Structure 1
Protein backbone atom coordinates (compact mmCIF):
# COMPACT_ATOMS: atom_id res chain seq x y z
CA UNK A 1 0.00 0.00 0.00
CA UNK A 2 1.24 3.45 -0.86
CA UNK A 3 0.97 6.51 1.33
CA UNK A 4 -1.86 8.07 -0.65
CA UNK A 5 -4.06 5.00 -0.25
CA UNK A 6 -3.45 4.85 3.50
CA UNK A 7 -4.19 8.55 4.00
CA UNK A 8 -7.47 8.03 2.18
CA UNK A 9 -8.68 5.79 5.01
CA UNK A 10 -6.83 7.33 7.96
CA UNK A 11 -7.72 10.95 7.22
CA UNK A 12 -10.42 11.09 4.51
CA UNK A 13 -11.04 14.83 5.00
CA UNK A 14 -7.41 15.69 4.17
CA UNK A 15 -7.53 13.37 1.18
CA UNK A 16 -10.72 15.04 -0.11
CA UNK A 17 -9.28 18.54 0.49
CA UNK A 18 -6.11 17.64 -1.43
CA UNK A 19 -8.15 16.08 -4.23
CA UNK A 20 -10.35 19.21 -4.51
CA UNK A 21 -7.26 21.45 -4.54
CA UNK A 22 -5.75 19.43 -7.41
CA UNK A 23 -9.03 19.57 -9.33
CA UNK A 24 -9.27 23.36 -8.77
CA UNK A 25 -5.67 23.84 -9.98
CA UNK A 26 -6.36 21.79 -13.12
CA UNK A 27 -9.53 23.75 -13.94
CA UNK A 28 -7.76 27.08 -13.31
CA UNK A 29 -4.98 26.03 -15.67
CA UNK A 30 -7.49 25.12 -18.36
CA UNK A 31 -10.04 27.96 -18.07
CA UNK A 32 -8.15 30.79 -16.41
CA UNK A 33 -9.21 32.84 -13.40
CA UNK A 34 -12.51 34.29 -14.64
CA UNK A 35 -16.02 33.20 -13.64
CA UNK A 36 -17.75 31.27 -16.40
CA UNK A 37 -21.07 33.06 -15.81
CA UNK A 38 -20.26 36.72 -15.11
CA UNK A 39 -16.74 36.77 -16.64
CA UNK A 40 -15.34 38.69 -13.64
CA UNK A 41 -11.99 37.68 -12.14
CA UNK A 42 -11.95 35.24 -9.23
CA UNK A 43 -10.30 35.90 -5.88
CA UNK A 44 -8.89 32.76 -4.29
CA UNK A 45 -7.75 34.32 -0.99
CA UNK A 46 -11.16 35.29 0.44
CA UNK A 47 -12.42 33.93 3.78
CA UNK A 48 -14.74 30.95 3.89
CA UNK A 49 -18.38 31.88 3.37
CA UNK A 50 -17.70 34.89 1.11
CA UNK A 51 -20.06 35.04 -1.88
CA UNK A 52 -17.25 35.80 -4.35
CA UNK A 53 -15.32 32.61 -3.56
CA UNK A 54 -14.74 30.25 -6.47
CA UNK A 55 -16.91 27.14 -6.67
CA UNK A 56 -16.57 24.18 -8.99
CA UNK A 57 -19.79 23.77 -10.98
CA UNK A 58 -20.93 21.01 -13.33
CA UNK A 59 -21.79 22.14 -16.84
CA UNK A 60 -24.16 19.22 -17.38
CA UNK A 61 -25.58 17.97 -14.05
CA UNK A 62 -25.38 14.30 -13.10
CA UNK A 63 -29.19 14.14 -13.17
CA UNK A 64 -29.10 15.14 -16.86
CA UNK A 65 -26.44 12.57 -17.75
CA UNK A 66 -23.29 14.53 -16.89
CA UNK A 67 -20.25 13.19 -15.04
CA UNK A 68 -17.66 14.46 -12.59
CA UNK A 69 -14.89 14.45 -15.20
CA UNK A 70 -12.77 17.59 -15.57
CA UNK A 71 -14.29 18.24 -19.02
CA UNK A 72 -17.70 18.73 -17.36
CA UNK A 73 -16.49 21.11 -14.61
CA UNK A 74 -15.99 24.88 -14.59
CA UNK A 75 -15.35 27.67 -12.07
CA UNK A 76 -18.00 30.15 -10.98
CA UNK A 77 -18.46 32.50 -8.05
CA UNK A 78 -20.57 31.13 -5.20
CA UNK A 79 -23.26 33.74 -5.83
CA UNK A 80 -23.31 33.14 -9.60
CA UNK A 81 -23.74 29.41 -8.97
CA UNK A 82 -26.53 30.04 -6.45
CA UNK A 83 -28.49 32.18 -8.93
CA UNK A 84 -28.41 29.35 -11.43
CA UNK A 85 -30.18 26.93 -9.08
CA UNK A 86 -33.38 29.01 -9.16
CA UNK A 87 -33.68 29.06 -12.95
CA UNK A 88 -35.74 25.88 -13.30
CA UNK A 89 -39.10 26.14 -15.02
CA UNK A 90 -40.97 24.88 -11.95
CA UNK A 91 -39.45 27.54 -9.67
CA UNK A 92 -40.16 30.31 -12.19
CA UNK A 93 -43.79 29.20 -12.57
CA UNK A 94 -44.29 29.11 -8.80
CA UNK A 95 -42.85 32.63 -8.48
CA UNK A 96 -45.10 33.90 -11.29
CA UNK A 97 -48.23 32.43 -9.66
CA UNK A 98 -47.27 33.86 -6.27
CA UNK A 99 -46.68 37.33 -7.74
CA UNK A 100 -50.03 37.24 -9.55
CA UNK A 101 -51.88 36.20 -6.40
CA UNK A 102 -50.17 38.99 -4.42
CA UNK A 103 -51.23 41.56 -7.03
CA UNK A 104 -54.79 40.24 -6.99
CA UNK A 105 -54.93 40.45 -3.18
CA UNK A 106 -53.63 44.04 -3.23
CA UNK A 107 -56.22 45.12 -5.80
CA UNK A 108 -58.97 43.53 -3.68
CA UNK A 109 -57.81 45.49 -0.65
CA UNK A 110 -57.88 48.75 -2.64
CA UNK A 111 -61.46 48.07 -3.75
CA UNK A 112 -62.55 47.45 -0.14
CA UNK A 113 -60.97 50.72 0.99
CA UNK A 114 -62.82 52.69 -1.69
CA UNK A 115 -66.21 51.21 -0.78
Structure 2
Protein backbone atom coordinates (compact mmCIF):
# COMPACT_ATOMS: atom_id res chain seq x y z
CA UNK A 1 0.00 0.00 0.00
CA UNK A 2 1.18 3.49 -0.70
CA UNK A 3 1.56 6.07 2.03
CA UNK A 4 -1.24 8.27 0.66
CA UNK A 5 -3.66 5.36 0.76
CA UNK A 6 -2.73 4.63 4.36
CA UNK A 7 -3.02 8.33 5.26
CA UNK A 8 -6.48 8.44 3.71
CA UNK A 9 -7.78 5.81 6.14
CA UNK A 10 -5.66 6.46 9.23
CA UNK A 11 -5.98 10.26 9.30
CA UNK A 12 -8.76 11.21 6.91
CA UNK A 13 -9.04 14.80 8.18
CA UNK A 14 -5.33 15.41 7.46
CA UNK A 15 -5.64 13.80 4.04
CA UNK A 16 -8.66 16.00 3.23
CA UNK A 17 -6.82 19.16 4.37
CA UNK A 18 -3.84 18.27 2.18
CA UNK A 19 -6.12 17.63 -0.81
CA UNK A 20 -7.86 20.98 -0.24
CA UNK A 21 -4.50 22.77 0.04
CA UNK A 22 -3.32 21.23 -3.24
CA UNK A 23 -6.56 22.21 -4.97
CA UNK A 24 -6.31 25.76 -3.58
CA UNK A 25 -2.70 26.04 -4.76
CA UNK A 26 -3.62 24.83 -8.25
CA UNK A 27 -6.49 27.33 -8.52
CA UNK A 28 -4.23 30.13 -7.22
CA UNK A 29 -1.65 29.31 -9.87
CA UNK A 30 -4.30 29.44 -12.57
CA UNK A 31 -6.38 32.47 -11.48
CA UNK A 32 -4.06 34.54 -9.30
CA UNK A 33 -4.76 36.02 -5.87
CA UNK A 34 -7.73 38.24 -6.71
CA UNK A 35 -11.37 37.48 -5.96
CA UNK A 36 -13.32 36.33 -9.01
CA UNK A 37 -16.36 38.43 -8.04
CA UNK A 38 -15.09 41.74 -6.61
CA UNK A 39 -11.54 41.67 -8.12
CA UNK A 40 -9.98 42.67 -4.77
CA UNK A 41 -6.93 40.82 -3.44
CA UNK A 42 -7.54 37.94 -1.04
CA UNK A 43 -5.60 37.23 2.12
CA UNK A 44 -4.46 33.66 2.54
CA UNK A 45 -2.95 34.15 6.02
CA UNK A 46 -6.32 34.53 7.77
CA UNK A 47 -7.90 31.75 9.85
CA UNK A 48 -10.49 29.51 8.24
CA UNK A 49 -13.95 31.09 8.23
CA UNK A 50 -12.80 34.72 8.05
CA UNK A 51 -14.85 36.94 5.70
CA UNK A 52 -11.82 38.13 3.74
CA UNK A 53 -10.36 34.64 3.46
CA UNK A 54 -10.51 32.49 0.32
CA UNK A 55 -13.41 30.20 -0.50
CA UNK A 56 -13.49 27.76 -3.38
CA UNK A 57 -16.65 28.40 -5.38
CA UNK A 58 -18.35 26.12 -7.88
CA UNK A 59 -18.97 28.06 -11.09
CA UNK A 60 -21.69 25.94 -12.66
CA UNK A 61 -23.66 23.58 -10.40
CA UNK A 62 -23.55 20.11 -11.90
CA UNK A 63 -23.23 16.50 -10.85
CA UNK A 64 -20.72 15.62 -8.14
CA UNK A 65 -18.12 14.36 -10.62
CA UNK A 66 -18.13 17.58 -12.61
CA UNK A 67 -18.09 19.83 -9.51
CA UNK A 68 -14.68 18.56 -8.44
CA UNK A 69 -13.03 19.41 -11.79
CA UNK A 70 -10.63 22.35 -11.48
CA UNK A 71 -12.17 23.98 -14.57
CA UNK A 72 -15.45 24.34 -12.66
CA UNK A 73 -13.88 25.96 -9.56
CA UNK A 74 -12.73 29.49 -8.79
CA UNK A 75 -11.56 31.48 -5.77
CA UNK A 76 -13.52 34.28 -4.17
CA UNK A 77 -13.85 35.89 -0.75
CA UNK A 78 -16.05 34.05 1.71
CA UNK A 79 -18.31 37.13 1.94
CA UNK A 80 -18.60 37.39 -1.85
CA UNK A 81 -19.55 33.72 -2.09
CA UNK A 82 -22.19 34.14 0.63
CA UNK A 83 -23.86 37.00 -1.26
CA UNK A 84 -24.75 34.68 -4.11
CA UNK A 85 -25.94 31.79 -1.92
CA UNK A 86 -29.59 32.82 -1.93
CA UNK A 87 -29.92 33.61 -5.61
CA UNK A 88 -31.17 30.25 -6.77
CA UNK A 89 -33.91 30.07 -9.41
CA UNK A 90 -36.57 29.32 -6.80
CA UNK A 91 -35.62 32.33 -4.66
CA UNK A 92 -35.49 34.63 -7.69
CA UNK A 93 -38.96 33.45 -8.75
CA UNK A 94 -40.36 34.09 -5.26
CA UNK A 95 -38.86 37.59 -5.19
CA UNK A 96 -40.30 38.34 -8.65
CA UNK A 97 -43.77 37.18 -7.60
CA UNK A 98 -43.61 39.19 -4.38
CA UNK A 99 -42.64 42.35 -6.28
CA UNK A 100 -45.47 41.82 -8.77
CA UNK A 101 -47.95 41.34 -5.95
CA UNK A 102 -46.80 44.59 -4.33
CA UNK A 103 -47.25 46.46 -7.61
CA UNK A 104 -50.80 45.14 -8.02
CA UNK A 105 -51.73 46.02 -4.43
CA UNK A 106 -50.39 49.57 -4.88
CA UNK A 107 -52.43 50.10 -8.04
CA UNK A 108 -55.59 48.82 -6.27
CA UNK A 109 -55.01 51.17 -3.34
CA UNK A 110 -54.58 54.12 -5.72
CA UNK A 111 -57.76 53.19 -7.56
CA UNK A 112 -59.67 52.93 -4.27
CA UNK A 113 -58.43 56.38 -3.17
CA UNK A 114 -59.54 57.96 -6.46
CA UNK A 115 -63.03 56.49 -6.31
TM bracket, shorter-chain basis: 0.7 to 0.9
Partner residue, 2:94: 94
CA distance in 1, matches of 2:31, 2:65: 22
Q: Is contact 1:43-1:54 (8 Å) kept?
A: yes
Q: Is contact 1:60-1:66 (8 Å) kept?
A: no
Matched, 1:4 2:9: no
Matched, 1:74 2:69: no
Partner residue, 1:43: 43
With the length of structure 2 as denominator, give the TM-score of the two structures.
0.77
Cα 1:64/1:21, change in 2 over 3 Å: closer
CA distance in 1, matches of 2:64, 2:47: 33
- CA-based RMSD of the aligned residues comes to 2.6
**Greater Cα shift, 6-15 or 56-65:** 56-65
Cα 1:64/1:25, change in 2 over 3 Å: closer
Instruction: Identify unmatched segments of 5+ residues in structure 2.
Output: 110-115
**Greater Cα shift, 24-33 or 55-64:** 55-64
Instruction: Identify unmatched segments of 5+ residues in structure 1.
Output: 109-115
Q: Is contact 1:42-1:77 (8 Å) kept?
A: yes
Aligned length: 108
User: Runs in 1 of length 4+ with deviation above 4 angstroms?
Assistant: 96-104
CA distance in 2, matches of 1:100, 1:65: 39
Using the TM superposition, give the Cα deviation of residue 65 of structure 1 relative to its aligned residue in structure 2, in angstroms. 8.5
